[in-house]
A and B are shown apart, each in its own frame.
Chain A
Amino acid sequence: MSGNDLSTFPDYPAEIRAPHNTVAGVSGYQVHIGSEIHTIGDKCDVLVAMNPASLRANLQWVNMGGTIIVDADTFVERAITKAGYESNPLEDGSLSSYNLIKAPISSAAKQVALEQGLELKEADRTKNMYALGMVAFMFDRDLQILSNQIAAKFKKKPKISETNIAVLKAGYIYAESIEAIESRYHIPTATLEKGKYRNISGNIATAWGLLAAAERSGRPLFLGSYPITPATDILIELAKHKSLNARVMQCEDEIAGICSSIGASYAGSLAVTSTSGPGLSLKSEAIGLAVMTELPLVIVDVQRGGPSTGLPTKSEQADLLQVLYGRNGSCPCIVLAATSPNDCFETAYMAAKLSMEHMTPTILMTDGYIGQGSELFRIPKVADMPSITPPIAEKNDPNYKPYRRDDKTLARKWALPGTQGLEHRVGGLEKSDILGAVSTDPNNHEKMVYYRNEKVQRVADYIPEQNVIGEESGDLLVVSWGGTKGQTYIAVKEIQKQGKKVSLAHFKYIMPLPKNTAEIFAKFKKILVCELSDGQFANYLRMVHPQFTYRKYNKIKGTPFTTIELTNAINQYLKEE
């Protein structure tokens, strides 16, 4: 089927017509799609539940963080009670560990079928096609193939055939219009440390990491944002947390999102704007303003396939060069890339910490795949997180000058409006060193460009050294970054099991790179850079550490690496003389 391996498992009750809406009467059909399948898979990633009873019966088989599509029309009080629920599972938060998609399946399918001229009773029977259409969109199935199969099945009933195809398409279009994304993040099973756990998606972890940083730094959180797939969940999540003093504005556009955040940062908030690639493009000029005014700001880029509108529901790592360089002038930002759904928590926290302590914008890169995907998360205590101490200027400080810098970090002070004796002006025009007056002096400009760059480079003194998974030297080093850690880790472990001298360096700190990066690279004969782009990280490494030879292994299909793709690529490069 469309080039995928497939295994299926029907499961239906012995009764021909078991009581409707009861758990015992639920029938199901399990499908496992993948490139290489050995089993039906113990648990599934997507459950389509056509009523509350079916949800109750099958929830146990859904992977944590998996997707549940429900026919929301059937979740009426009577059916919910009959299924044995005490409250509506769609509303009471009990499904918070899953990617829940509430779709009006019955009503929408019926409407299409009636429009096609079907009787009411027949129309009701088309709803499974609507659900199939939704799944077809999420897994990139070819509608034509499905339509042909339906046509073949109902060869003698053209009206039924046409209606089913119309409903199938309606379901497909619905999923496309709500930009439904499947969540299929898989983590390597590892022995878990003792502790209290929960399930968390990357976007929620990002939101919570920022809230933790706000609390720990004593700076209120401000988010200025505009809805965009696949980053919207961060905005939705933070909007809930007014009790934690999160000030969230849904702005009129991406530019207002970042500009309101810059204003909030100037006024002393931990300011954040969240977006995806196209939105980041719109924010470029304002990022320059934040760099120039040397204010803290966290910009979250939940990457999706590009360029332009691209593949809104698919993932890619191709925003890297935009994040690093997509601005006028010499305009450096600190750049971090979260490596998995639960790592978004720590990475968001660190992005906020570095931005505030070094007084410069930080771009936090995640992607649709880890943003939407879920993973087990060991619950930390906020008090155990590293402290955050922004350099806030004291009232009436006689030595305060807008661009006087800390000797070590080169950060200027954060002088909050409303503080006596610190009245000053900042802005996008170049300013004189220390005094902060508007200046076009050529020597001053060169000096300020140097300071802004050097300030970001010095962040390397405050981040952890890069680690290597496996031996510290060997024949080949796999290099990856950001959201692909789950796959490169599994692939390298598998190769290591075969006794080959292959290690992994997976990067999370992108700008600046960890100080020991070159030292690590020097100990391997070959370096293979694996990424979901046309090689942007490899090109960046060539620029920063040109002394090494980098081989690229790229995938730009909107889907994650598979283990077999990676192990093949690694083995191939190992074999070459």
Chain B
Amino acid sequence: MSYDIIERSEVPLTKEDFASDQMVKWCPGCGSHAILASLENVFPKIGYKRENFCVVSGIGCASRFPYYVNTFGFHGIHGRATPIATGVRVSNRHLSVWITAGDGDLMAIGGNHFIHTIRRNVDLNIMLFNNQIYGLTKGQYSPTTPFGQITKTSPYGTIEKPFAVGKLVLAAQGSFFARALDNNPKLMVDVMFEAAKHDGTSVIEILQNCVIFNDGAHKEIADRTTAADKQLILKHGEPMIFGKDRNKGIRLGAKGLEVVTIGENNITEKDILIHDVTQEDSGIHNMLVDMKLPHYPMAFGVIRAVPTPTYDELLEEQIKAAQKSSPIKCVDDLLNSGDTWEI
């Protein structure tokens, strides 16, 4: 368990220990402020020494993140946060590595790295800030922008289908996927903590509001007054119940998931699906990440967390086995191996 191999702080750390001296330069009202606060809250809770955290990013508004956290940090280039973080983790398994990146960074220019990182299951925590727009370049459509949306580069509406982040993660054989909202700090801290505990590539999709270029993109889901009916907050081992009266639930019907009301048509709590994050078959998880308004609530919380061997762990095992069995213990052994002769 990598959660156990990283050295912990002897003295409890606080949120303030993780605040850097840099001025935070996001727009007022940007969802990133809340995400930063959540991360600064969860790091002391995770409990590792400060020097054992490493935050890696690519390019974009979200990628300024490492400058604002007082740990080791690496601000990379566009799309490449995942391979950079992979190199860090494969070199040193005693580091807790976090990626902060936007939907453009991870889904467009970094799309290839994203799926391959997930497939390898390198032990990394990826926070994908999904605001469905390019913010730093001022308002062009992204790979998650809804079909038909008018943006600066789609003045007649986009004619591209957006990526569904969760479905992509599952298709790439992701071992962990969670969804959170930038206006629900408690949920963010909870899923970040679960991501840290999970061995492997943990992807957290955070629905984030860009106040300047895509304000209100998630409003219908995020609006606190109606959230209870539109959000299904999943918890492992608990029935999938939601609604302001806690009487709505998700049932597995003949054609997939169905929203039912407990107490109507002989439906009881027993008919409601129990959430199991560890289910290897991704069928139900796939249906959960695909749930959309208005027919369904949107699923939040940890959707999938299946124990899976990590790339860095398997590599370490191969190295240890080779060191035990190989006659080549040092480079001199290698240089003198095979066919040699004296002159």
The chain A residues found within 8 Å of chain B, CB to CB, are: 93-94, 96-97, 192-199, 208, 211-212, 215, 220, 222, 224, 241-245, 247, 249, 251-253, 255-256, 259-269, 271, 285-286, 288-289, 293, 379-382, 416-429, 437-438
Contacts and interface: CB of A to CB of B under 8 A. Distances in A.
B168 to A, nearest CB: 15
A379 B335 contact: yes
Nearest to A260: B87
Contact of B74 (A194, A212, A263, A271): A263
A212 B330 CA distance: 9
Given A97-B339, A253-B112, A424-B72, A264 B51 contact: no
A242 B70 contact: no
B342 A196 contact: yes
A256 B88 contact: no
B291 to A, nearest CB: 30
A193 B343 CA distance: 8
Contact of A242 (B95, B318, B341): B318
B94 A418 contact: yes
Given A264-B87, A265-B87, 16 more contacts: A197-B342, A197-B343, A222-B87, A242-B322, A244-B331, A244-B334, A255-B113, A263-B83, A285-B77, A382-B332, A417-B72, A418-B94, A420-B49, A425-B75, A426-B74, A437-B22
Given A241-B328, A438-B67, A423 B91 contact: no
Contacts of A271: 87, 91
Contacts of A194: 342-343
Interface string B305-343: 000000000010011011101101111101110111111
A96 B85 contact: no
Interface of B: 20, 22, 49-52, 54, 56-57, 59, 66-67, 70-77, 80, 82-92, 94-95, 112-113, 116, 315, 318-319, 321-323, 325-326, 328-332, 334-336, 338-343
Nearest to A255: B80
A289 B319 contact: no
Pick the most buried of B50, B57, B328: most chain A CB atoms within 10 A of its CB.
B328
A244 B80 contact: no
B336 A196 contact: yes
B280 to A, nearest CB: 24
A425 B83 contact: no
B162 to A, nearest CB: 23
A193 B342 CA distance: 10
A553 to B, nearest CB: 35
Chain A to chain B: the 9 pairs with minimum beta-carbon distance, closest first: A263-B87, A427-B75, A243-B326, A242-B322, A260-B87, A425-B73, A264-B87, A267-B91, A259-B83
B85 A94 contact: no
A425 B76 CA distance: 11
Nearest to A419: B51
21 contacts: A97-B339, A196-B340, A199-B339, A215-B331, A220-B91, A242-B321, A251-B83, A252-B113, A255-B80, A259-B113, A260-B90, A262-B76, A266-B87, A267-B87, A267-B88, A288-B77, A382-B332, A418-B94, A420-B51, A425-B66, A425-B72
A261 B91 CA distance: 9
B76 A242 contact: no
Given A243-B326, A381-B332, A427 B83 contact: no
Contact of B338 (A198, A243, A245): A198
Contacts of A197: 340-343
A502 to B, nearest CB: 31
B181 to A, nearest CB: 28
Given A241-B328, A259-B76, A428-B75, A249 B90 contact: yes
A266 to B, nearest CB: 6
Contacts of A245: 319, 323
Nearest to B54: A417
Contacts of B315: 247
Contact of B323 (A94, A243, A269, A379): A243
Given A243-B326, A243-B329, A425-B66, A262 B87 contact: yes
B86 A198 contact: no
Contacts of B84: 259-260, 262-263, 266
Contacts of A264: 87-88, 90-91
B77 A289 contact: yes
Given A263-B91, A424-B73, A426-B74, A252 B67 contact: no
A251 B328 CA distance: 26
Contact of B112 (A192, A193, A252, A293): A252
B208 to A, nearest CB: 21
Given A197-B341, A244-B328, A244-B330, A259 B87 contact: yes
A421 B323 contact: no
Contacts of B112: 252-253, 256
Contacts of B113: 252-253, 255-256, 259
B323 to A, nearest CB: 5
A195 B343 contact: yes
Nearest to B317: A242
A221 to B, nearest CB: 10
B195 to A, nearest CB: 19
B205 to A, nearest CB: 22
B198 to A, nearest CB: 20
B67 A268 contact: no
Contacts of A94: 339
Contacts of B330: 215, 244, 382
A417 B51 contact: yes
B95 A426 contact: no
B85 A263 contact: yes
A269 B95 CA distance: 14
Which of the listed residues B71, B329, B332 has the most CB atoms from chain A within 10 Å of its own CB? B332
A426 B71 CA distance: 11
B211 to A, nearest CB: 23
A423 B52 CA distance: 9
Contact of B77 (A196, A244, A286, A380): A286
Contacts of A97: 338-339
B335 A380 contact: yes
Nearest to A192: B343
Contacts of B341: 196-198
B186 to A, nearest CB: 27
A262 B321 CA distance: 27
